[in-house]
Structure 1
Amino acid sequence: MCHRGRCDCSFTTGSGVSLTQQSRSPENQVNPLPPPLKATSLKRRGSLFRAFSGLTSRYGNRSPKKDKEDEVILVNAMHIADEEQGEDGRSYQTIFLRSSEEGGEHELAFFSRLDDEFNKVAKFYRDKVEEVVKDAEELNRQMDALIALRIKVNDPAAVSPFTNQRNTGYREVIHEEHQEKRSDDVREYQMASLEVLNHIKINTTAETPLSAIKNVFHGSKSDLHFNKKELGDAKEKLKQAFIEFHEKLRLLKNYVFLNQLAFSKMMKKYDKVAKLIERVESAFVKHFCNGNRHQGMSTLKPNAKRKRHRDTFFVGCFFGCSLALVVAIIVNVHARDLLNSRGRTQYMNTIFPLYSLFGFLVLHMLMYAANVYYWTRYRVNYSFIFGFKPGTELGYTEVLLLSSGLSVLTLAAVLSNLEMELDPNTKSYKELTELLPLGLVTVVILITVCPFNIFYRANRFFLLVCLWRCICAPFYATTLPDFFLADQFTSQVQLLRYLQFYVCYYGWGDFKNRNAETCKGSVYNVITIVIAVIPYWIRVLQCMRRFLGGHDSTQALNALKYFSTIVALVARTIQTQRPGITLQIIAGSTSGFATVFNTYWDMVMDWGLLCKNSENPWLRDKLILPNRSIYFIAMDAPFLHANALIALVACLEIIRRGLWNFFRLENEHLNNVGKFRAVKSVPLPFSYENEDNNI
């Protein structure tokens, strides 16, 4: 640090001694020395530039204690070759010493089954321990690169004495007495090497449409520029990687707790995992939380979400108000004989579609609340599958609160907007009541994009991010939340058309006289077709992105499925607008093909059902719901909406989508369980040019 010609250079030598050298300028002989920095600040600064101690250091070898042998059984441990891993493992065999006694054959069968189960558990645990050790080694390398980058970016001049072997001038000022006093801190303040920066590249940090295009031509890696943005992005990625790795270790530790009473021999591995957890926690607190252990542990192990009784109270209040408003609307319609009013047709052509939008939205939210309730009841880990930040996922009570609150506002607006006859004095309807639907839409949109921490901001932001990724489908890697949201929109085509009607009615129509003549014609009809096609086209792009990314070859067929739906939708819409035998045949054939294709894909690919030789005939081997008839009822649901009216079709499609949601996530959850996926895979910020070179 330089102060008016005086240069103070603070550094730590290879021996761990902190020194300060002043340049010998004339000012240095006159001006007093600046006040020394606090010891804690120096220690903190030194720790940031210190070489990473590693997560997998050698633990002290402990001689295992011999198990006490029972007089009845004898346990032998045999080393065997693991065919899958190509490594030597250990298998345990129990010998029953009293097999000749009466009933001994049953004891032999029992211990044989016990050995099989124990060896399965032991092999799984052994494989997982090896996996987390490998992950820890990779995190070691990533931390070495991060610390070297931190040194290079933050203070490249100050760290040169630590990394340049030829610079020995500073060592002359090291006093022998001071060196002896700080001998215990030699390893603590050993500086990290910058040599690692010559062998790494930084992975692309931000995924944007522009970066996706660049990656096609230049690859997914980029050279280091040694700037603070690179450092911040790398630190954020590694922070998330530590969080997920800590969660993985905690799950493995809990696995031991669940099995230690039955399989006490497995506990010899416990110390290794426990110490690894301590090292992960220590490294995370030091490098990502500025030494604040409370903050670090709250990030690694967030508190469980507590259920609030006030939410349940307000849900009851809102549902009660909704029922009262429904009764009031029915009584009002009957008392005023509005069904026989001359303005009934005009009301149904204009006002009814405006409020139907909220009806579809509330119904979809109710179905989602039911999904969340049953996912929670049957332990489907929907929070992990969707990728919600721990503790921010909405429970069914919160979803019901939102849907019931919106229901109250909508029904209150309907009750105040039941006028079906023009005012004889003004020859128009009341402007305030006619603007109520537009006001409700505006309120919903403003709450959705509100930046303040109200109305479940984390979930709203998550929704907007997924929506943006859906809009830019070709430029982002498709994740489950992205295509799940796009699938929801395919079941809300009528809602999207009503949004189009909002824009036309209030933008170009005469809403004071309920005149929607401008919302007709060829241009409006073309836009209607485009609006209906957009959700399916997004799914086509998402499927093609997954197919081209090499994740799943079946995504090409999935894209074909959605494209067939687009063809059927366009044919049906044109046939409705221009009736004719030829168009009717085309619409019927394309609709039939799309219906069969979609139904088969939903049942077989998305739900994993219709397995002929499974343990549950025509279902699948593993089921969550105890009653198998529910699955067969759900498989019949897609055919319910064949000949219904528009509003009824839209409602039934939303209900069908709600059923699809549950069984789709059930299948995803069972796949995760089968593959032992309980934590997310986090991309790491650095990649080594030569993976075989351990630096």
Structure 2
Amino acid sequence: MKFGKDFKKQMVPEWAEAYMDYNGLKRILRELREYKRNKHSVTPSKDFERRRSPPDRTISGIELQSGSLRSNGDIEDQVIDVNTLHGDGCREVYKTKFLRQSEEGGDIEATFFRKLDQELNKVNTFYNDKVEEVKKEANNLDKQMEALVALRLKVKKLDQYGSRSKRHNNSAVHLTSNKSSADDNLGNEPTGLTSGLQVNEEHRREPSTGGSEVNPNHVKNSSSDGRELLKTYTQKEDPMEVLEHVRITNTLESPISTIKGVFKDSREEELSFDKEELKRVEERLRAAFIQFYHQLQLLKHYSFMNLSAFSKIMKKYEKIASRRAARSYMLIVDNSNVGSSDEVTNLLERVETTFIQKFSNSNRREGMKSLRPKAKREGHSVTFFSGFFSGCSIALLVAIVLSIEARKLLDKEEGAEYVENIFPLYSLFGYIILHMLMYAADIYFWRCYRVNYAFIFGFKKGTELGYREVFLLATGLAVLSLGGFLANLHLDLSAEKYKTVTELVPLGLLALVLAITFCPFKIIYHSSRFFFIRSLFHCTCAPLYPETFPDFFLADQLTSQVQALRSFVLYVCYYGLGESSRRQSKCRSHGLYNTLYFIIAVVPFWMRFLQCIRRFCDEKDVKYIFNGLKYLSTIVAVIIRTVYEMEKGKTSWMVLALISSAVATTMNTYWDIVMDWGLLRKTSKNKYLRDRLVVPHKIVYFAAMVLNVVLRLAWMQLVLEFKLRTVNKVTITTVIAFLEVIRRGIWSFFRLENEHLNNVGQYRAFKSVPLPFSYYDEDADKDD
């Protein structure tokens, strides 16, 4: 694979704009090559080849001569003069002067070096900013670890003495007399991060004229192996005194904590010193360390890839321009912060040591397994079984169509009865299968356009499903449902003695699907199933859980599956109320069925309404109130439309249904396109779209907007009831429900694209993990 493609593939998607513009520099070099082709021979000059001596030193992967920068060669050999200036905040700014601008093609080469300087300054500035951020975060983690160590000692001490005290106060027993025991527990192990890793300018690696080869796995050390930077953690005061200045941060992550937060003004609680509290603190701090380690890995990889890019582009310049400038420029690159700083590498080592000792019982294998989860591998078996199930699904579908046509089932009275009673039971699986196929297509295009869906959803690294896995699940479910439908069709019409068995086929199929979905054993993508169940549980418990992207995204998907949810109600009526034995559609006569028919259609929109209220309470942004009103208008429209359906087409209800549906459709369409997709921006450089676009073809966005409006209006057929004599009403309802699922699949792609671009605009490549402890200063509180 060419470096340019690999460079783009290895980028952190949210930091793409902060990487060196490798393709932009290549375009300038191509322009230079075309100019030289028109003026001179393509091959390098003999003088250049003659003066190139065998390499004996490498800098960032470039073979160079030994010696100082200007000691070898005549003054005529100098091509560039790189100056280091001091910009804002005393940061280094690099400016290169091209010394051969008067020669043919010199203007193009001067343009190349100006662009190169811009990219180096951009990369260096971004890297410096990120290093400052991780150093501040490391300092916070250092304080958190001090509190955790003290809390562990306190809990252990109370457990040893059998104390039942649940509240800490100033008169609590300190462990001053047991200071040696505390030191033994700490073991003089390096626990602090920044306490041993405050990298000063005098501790940096001295610039080397020879440099070193760039290696992503190579750990750079300072002149003294960096050991003077890794100070041993020591508790300067009694560990228990730390606990007098900390409280537990209440993140409102559970229904109980949410209810407590409603009746309390403060988000902080005093320590209770029990084992359950210690366990919760350790889990939260463990997650914070893993997230911080991942952040450091991304930053280190960012440095490595950019250094490689500068090396490669200078090689190309030397080849095309037939000049020796790589050595001079790469010395500057290697001595810049992005090329010479050891802070990130040292922090990585420190985090590994701390995590292994404090969270993995000094078991390095288990600790590194948590810090560096294995990358997911896609096996050939997934592709094979996807194709196999696809073929079986097509064969079963053809068999069903031929069976119906051979028996002229739709022309008979029993055929109409069959469609009216049995087909809705199996249509539930059709809605689910189509939704999964749309999700698989979304994942495929997200990957094509480098939308970081795994990060946005918050999937654990290595557990996210790819489009192949989702397609496999969809085709596997299709085989089960179509096979059950064909068996139901064959047994129901062939012999009277199979009637009882036939009635149980749809119920058995539904029970099998639910059993697999909620199976607690680690089979069939256990992690993804658990993630789905947890998000579903959060949706049903809204607003007691904080609203996260996976939760409200799933709730939005459920709003497009109203007919599927009503199919569950049909199962209750068909099997719970005895309608399967009479083989007639008597569900409308049952009050329980009518009640559930109302409620189940409103539940998804009500969940989204409560989620909007919760998010408004958390973020105080008024736009979530308007979003909640949008779902409230949809609830009203659904209720009126359902009443109209049950009232057998009264004109007054039809007018109300049209008005409420028109208002809800207008609000939902506007929110989809403007808020969820971020399109129709007046000041955008892409007219009627937005500034950043993932899909290069603008027509795709306009087509999606038009299609969204058309599909939003498709369900108006249920209100207006256009007379289509050749089509059964159940079929019309099913087709419209399928169209709504397709619309939601299209919406999902552009919704996630907009979320991804918002992350890109803020260079947000990782989620912030709330820390368990909050520090406060009593003296500062008194002054306030």
| TM-score w.r.t. length of structure 1 | 0.82
Q: Using the TM superposition, name which of 240-249 and 408-417 deviates more.
A: 408-417
Q: 2:354 aligns with which of 283, 288, 293?
A: 283
Contact 1:342 1:421 in 2 (8 A): no
Q: Which amino acid aligns with 2:263?
A: F
How far apart, in 2, do the equivalents of 1:437 and 1:158 lie? 59
Aligned residue number for residue 538 of structure 2: 469
Cα distance in 1 for partners of 2:299, 2:516 equals: 41
CA contact (8 A) 1:509 1:516 kept: no
Give the superposition deviation at 1:521. Answer: 5.2
SS of the residue 1:291 aligns to: coil
Secondary structure of 2:413's counterpart equals coil
Moved more, 236-245 or 581-590: 581-590
- Distance in 2 separating the partners of 1:80 and 1:245: 30
2:574 corresponds to: 505
Residues 195, 189 of structure 1: alpha-carbon distance in 2 compared, 3 angstrom cutoff: closer
Match of 2:391 in 1: 320
- Answering whether residue 359 of structure 2 is matched by residue 347 of structure 1, we say no
Q: Give the match for residue 412 of structure 1.
A: 483
Contact 1:373–1:396 under 8 Å retained in 2: yes
Q: For residue 270 of structure 1, what is the aligned residue in structure 2?
A: 341
Q: Which residue in 2 is equivalent to 1:628? A: 698
User: Shift in Å at residue 692 of structure 1?
Assistant: 9.7
> SS of the counterpart of 2:96?
strand
Please say if residues 612 and 618 of structure 1, whose CA atoms lie closer than 8 Å, have aligned partners that are also in contact.
Answer: yes
Question: Could you say if the C-alpha distance between residues 107 and 327 of structure 1 is closer, same or farther in structure 2, counting changes exceeding 3 Å?
Answer: closer
Identify the range of structure 1 (106-115 vs 148-157) with the bigger mean alpha-carbon deviation. 106-115
Q: CA deviation at 1:505?
A: 1.2
The letter of the residue matching 1:213 is I
Check whether the contact 2:81–2:98 (CA below 8 A) recurs between aligned residues.
yes
State the partner residue of 2:84. 77
Match among 679, 683, 686 for residue 613 of structure 1: 683
Query: Match of 2:87, SS?
Result: strand
| Matches for 1:520-599 after TM superposition, within 5 Å | 520=589, 524-550=593-619, 552-578=621-647, 579-599=649-669
Q: Is 2:282 the partner of 1:235?
A: yes
**Matched residue, 2:770:** 683
Q: 1:653 aligns with which of 736, 740, 744?
A: 740
Give the stretch that moved more between structures: 295-304 or 145-154.
295-304
Determine the structure 2 residue equivalent to 1:113.
115
- Once residues 483 and 459 of structure 1 are traced to their aligned partners in structure 2, the CA distance between those partners, rounded to angstroms, is 17
Using the TM superposition, give the Cα deviation of residue 516 of structure 1 relative to its aligned residue in structure 2, in angstroms: 3.2
Where does 1:655-674 land on structure 2 (aligned, <5 Å)?
Answer: 655-674=742-761
Letter in 2 for 1:685: P
Q: Distance in 2 between matches of 1:150 and 1:420?
A: 66
Separation in 1, partners of 2:182, 2:361:
29
Q: Alpha carbons of 1:446 and 1:393: their partners in 2 closer, same or farther (altered >3 Å)? A: same
Go from structure 1 to structure 2 and tell me whether the alpha carbon gap of 1:398 and 1:409 turns closer, same or farther (over 3 Å shift): same
For the 8 Å contact 2:644–2:650, the answer to whether it is kept is yes
Alignment of 1:166-185 (within 5 A): none
Verify the 8 A CA contact 1:509 1:519 in the aligned structure 2: no
* Deviation (angstroms), 1:156: 5.7
Q: What's the counterpart of residue 33 of structure 2?
A: none
- Highest relative contact order (Cα 8 Å, sep 6+), 1 or 2? 2
8 Å Cα contact 1:256-1:266 kept in structure 2: no
Is 1:496 paired with 2:565?
yes
Using the alignment, how far apart are the partners of 1:68 and 1:692 within structure 2?
57
Preserved CA contact (<8 Å) 1:94 1:111: yes
The gaps in structure 1 that reach 5 residues or longer are 1-65, 82-86, 172-185
Cα distance in structure 2, aligned partners of 1:354 and 1:402: 20
- The verdict on how the C-alpha distance between 1:585 and 1:691 changes in structure 2, with shifts beyond 3 A counting, is farther
Contact 2:245 2:778 in 1 (8 A): no
For 1:20, the equivalent position in structure 2 comes to: none
Deviation at 1:455, TM superposition (A): 1.4
- Paired residue for 1:199? 245
Residue identity in the other structure for 1:433: T
For the Cα contact (< 8 Å) 1:486–1:538, is it kept in 2?
yes
**Alignment RMSD:** 3.0
CA 1:76–1:229: 2 relative to 1, 3 Å: same
- Counterparts of 1:402 and 1:360, CA distance in 2: 14
Deviation at 1:242, TM superposition (A): 0.7
State the Cα distance separating 1:527 from its structure 2 match.
Answer: 2.7
Q: Secondary structure at the match of 1:202?
A: strand
Single out whichever of 266-275 and 187-196 deviates more from structure 2.
Answer: 187-196
Match of 2:202 in 1: none
Q: Does the residue aligned with 2:489 lie in a helix, a strand or coil? A: coil
1:246 maps to 2:317: no
Query: Structure 2 vs 1, CA of residues 210 and 421 (structure 1 numbering), >3 Å: closer, same or farther?
Result: closer
Alpha-carbon distance change, 422 to 187 in structure 1, aligned in 2, over 3 angstroms: closer
Cα displacement (A) at 1:448:
1.4
Unaligned 5+ runs, structure 2: 1-66, 71-76, 162-171, 184-230, 311-332, 718-731
Which range moves more in the overlay, 154-163 or 469-478? 154-163
The letter for the 2-side match of 1:114 is: L
Q: Residue 448 of structure 1 contacts residue 460 of structure 1 at CA under 8 Å; is this kept in 2?
A: yes
* Equivalent-residue separation in structure 1 for 2:554 and 2:643 (angstroms): 27
1:435 aligns with 2:504: yes
2:281 and 2:772 in contact (8 A); partners too: yes
Displacement of 1:115 = 2.6
Q: 1:293 to 1:328 in 2, by over 3 A?
A: same
Q: Structure 1 residue 606: deviation in Å?
A: 0.8
Q: Hey, what's the Cα distance between the residues in 2 that align with 1:170 and 1:68?
A: 55
Mark the CA change 1:577 to 1:162 in structure 2 (over 3 Å): closer, same or farther.
closer
Give the distance between the partners of 1:391 and 1:330, measured in 2 at CA: 41
One-letter amino acid of the counterpart of residue 136, structure 2: K
Which residue of structure 1 aligns with residue 467 of structure 2?
Answer: 396
Q: d(CA) in 2 for partners of 1:523 and 1:157?
A: 55
Which stretch has the larger CA shift, 376-385 or 684-693? 684-693
Counterpart amino acid of residue 456 in structure 1 = Y
Match of residue 150, structure 1, among 149, 152, 165: 152
Which whole-Å deviations, capped at 9, do the CAs of 1:33-91 have from their partners, x for residues lacking one?
xxxxxxxxxxxxxxxxxxxxxxxxxxxxxxxxx9947933333333333xxxxx44332
Identify if the C-alpha distance between structure 1 residues 649 and 282 changes in structure 2 by more than 3 Å, giving closer, same or farther: same
CA contact (8 A) 1:253 1:270 kept: no
Aligned 8 A contact 2:410 2:416 in 1: no
Partner of residue 370, structure 2 = 299
CA distance in 2, matches of 1:189, 1:690: 22
Q: Please state how far the C-alpha of 1:680 moved relative to its aligned partner.
A: 1.7
Aligned AA for 1:130? E
Select which of 446, 454, 465 maps to 1:383. Answer: 454
CA contact (8 A) 1:321 1:408 kept: yes
Deviation of 1:520 after TM superposition, in Å, equals: 3.2
Distance 2:758 2:270 in 1: 38
Instruction: Tell me whether 153-162 or 660-669 shows the greater mean CA deviation.
Output: 153-162
Q: Which amino acid aligns with 1:689?
A: Y
- TM-score scaled by length of structure 2: 0.73
Query: d(CA) in 1 for partners of 2:339 and 2:142?
Result: 24
Q: Alpha-carbon deviation of 1:464?
A: 1.0
Q: Secondary structure at the match of 2:674?
A: helix
Match of 1:363 in 2: 434
Give the partner amino acid of 1:547.
F
Deviates more, 1:204-213 or 1:648-657: 204-213
Give the corresponding residue for 2:527: 458
Q: Residues 335 and 116 (structure 1 numbering): CA distance in 2 closer, same or farther, change over 3 Å?
A: same
Distance 2:68 2:660 in 1: 71
| 1:616–1:533 CA distance, 2 compared to 1 (3 A) | same
Distance in 2, matches of 1:451 and 1:587, equals 44
Q: 1:648 to 1:165 in 2, by over 3 A?
A: same
Q: How much does 1:543 deviate?
A: 0.7
> What is residue 337 of structure 1 aligned with on the other side?
408
> Cα distance, 1:241 vs. partner?
0.6
Structure 1 residues 346 and 691: alpha-carbon distance in aligned structure 2, compared to 1, 3 A threshold: farther
1:601 to 1:497, Cα distance in 2 relative to 1, 3 A: same
Structure 1 residues 148 and 335, CA, compared in 2 at 3 Å: closer, same or farther? same
Q: Measure how far apart 1:102 and its partner are.
A: 6.0
**Partners of 1:524 and 1:585 in 2: how far apart?**
26
